[in-house]
Amino acid sequence: MNTSLSSWLVIVVALLAASLPFFTERVFGLIPIKFTKTVWVRLVELIALYFGVGAMGFLLEANAGNRFEQRWEFFAITACLFIVFAFPGFVYRYLRKNSN
């Protein structure tokens, strides 16, 4: 897989993963729970998905053969970008008006 395709793959997966906690009542979209998810459960799920997407990006970068050292600045920027990617799901869950 070339680097351009793997970069776009990470971006698309990050977009989908960031909004996933807000679009479904299942944990990680797979595990059903007996109670309604609170905002804290959604935030923990968002953090776990951030690290999951980061691990996928790390593996794709290592597979390409040119892995670079990442410092705290990289993680601060990607965490902020992941939160921005979660905005559509947050709007859908908490800011959208109900028609009821």
CB neighbours of 64 closer than 8 A, spacing ≥ 6?
1, 3, 6
pLDDT single digits (tens) 45-99? 999 999 999 999 998 888 877 777 889 999 999 999 999 999 999 898 888 767 6
Neighbour count for residue 7 (Cβ, 10 Å): 14
The C-alpha atoms of residue 89 and residue 92 are separated, in whole angstroms, by 5
For the full predicted model, state whether its pTM sits above 0.75.
yes
Backbone dihedral angles phi then psi of residue 31, each to the nearest 5 degrees:
-95, 115
Give how far the C-alpha of residue 61 lies from the chain's centroid of Cα atoms, to the nearest Å: 18
